[in-house]
Amino acid sequence: MSSKILMPALSPTMTEGTINKWLVKIGDNVKAGDIIAEIETDKATMEVEAVDEGKITHLLKEDPNNQVAVNRVIAIIDGKKNDSLEDNPVTKEIDKDEKETINKESSKLNEKNEIKKNVVNNKFKASPLVKKIATDKNIDLTKINGSGPDGRIIKRDINLNEVSLVSSEQKINQDFIVPSMMRKVIAKRTLEAKQQIPHFYLTIESNVDKLIDLRKKINENNSFRISYNDLIVKALGMAMKKNPDTNVYWQENKIYKLKDIDVSVAVAIDEGLITPVIKKVNSKGLNEVSVEIRELAKLAKTNSLTPNQYTGGSITLSNLGMFGISEFAAIISPPQASILAVGKIIKKPIILNDSVMVGHTLKSTLSADHRVLDGAVAGKLLKDFNDIIENPFEIWMNSNDMEVI
């Protein structure tokens, strides 16, 4: 009896995947649990197991440009001779727009040569002034119908056409890249987030001199170095515990309240951005948080995260301080209701007790979903976060795995 292998749903957000590589071939015998393929999802590359025992008789062609819908047949074990994967229309070819782009790109060279030919054959008439303007502004005169005597192109004709008739020479001096599946998903979801989530933004500037001192003292006594990002993740979890009304999200016209405080940490990888989740941050020590962040970041950069490690989360932390960014606002990652964007620590003059002194400041911007979070609720979360990193001894007190300092 034949057994069909379906494209699995490897994460709650996955609707389709691509077959990067088959690890078996037609004629191979497999048993349940054998790894048979590598599937690229919207978040990572995952392994797929055989669900039955038998001989592989049909395999869908592996192709990173074809997307296969979840629960569609991708292989058959012990299939009959007349069985065919074509009976299961499983693949979605490259988007229509992408195909059109490819066709356009392939015809650009011919277009360029035709333009040059027309110029050489002097098939248009234009004054020296018009030719100079066309050169300065990259206007393709072969595309303009002159309104002057004998079809001569005059300045008025350029003014009417220069916006839409950018030189084909300029157009051909470019290339296009077929985006990865992850990049397509990022594009789709960030667009949906900005269109569907009513964002509002709150920014606070914190004096982090004491945070710097705490980190220095911890690292002098710790077996490994704690980063500012570790401290911020822990502080954010503590702030959310003080503000349980922010640990919510909106979905299908309902408000859901989460029990655990899980902080997602944005990690940049070659294909885009992924947010592994530090589970139950508030119940973990600083060392434990630090180790987990490092391990998850390594897995993220090798596309080795499991769905349980990158789905869910109460709030996301995005830190661009290491790139010299002083302040920015981030896009909320649904279904979460907020994301905290943190910049670099800046040394500058500050006023303390009516005196000007040199200090270190950090700007943090909270993006919040106004469907579930009002300004006062989100503002209280950000203020509590500010108070914790300005007086960070509380972080040390809430970390049972810290040495006495």
CA 93, CA 317: separation in Å to the nearest integer? 35
Give Cβ neighbours of residue 65 (< 8 Å, ≥ 6 apart): 18, 93, 94, 178
Token pair, residue 317, equals 């932390």
Cis peptide bond N-terminal to 335, omega within 30: yes
| Inter-residue contact 368 to 378 (CB < 8 Å) | yes
Q: Strand, helix or coil at 336?
A: strand
Place of tokens 């970041």: 297
CA 257, CA 243: separation in Å to the nearest integer? 12
Q: 369 forms bridges with which residues in the sheet? A: 199
CA 133 and chain centroid, separation: 42
Query: CA-based diameter of the chain, in Å?
Result: 91
58 catalytically annotated: no
Place of tokens 């303009």: 144
| Sheet of strand 29-30, all strands in order from the earlier edge strand to the far edge | 3-6, 73-77, 54-59, 29-30
Q: Which of 58, 199, 360, 370 is catalytic?
A: 370
Q: 27 forms bridges with which residues in the sheet? A: none
CA 244 and chain centroid, separation: 27
Q: Strand, helix or coil at 112?
A: helix
CA 23, CA 38: separation in Å to the nearest integer? 8
| Inter-residue contact 266 to 273 (CB < 8 Å) | yes
How buried is 333 (Cβ within 10 angstroms: 0-12 exposed, 13-18 middle, 19+ buried)?
A: buried
Q: Vertex 396, ends 392 and 402: CA angle to 5°?
A: 150
Sign of the alpha-carbon dihedral angle for 191, 196, 202, 206: negative
Residues marked as catalytic: 370
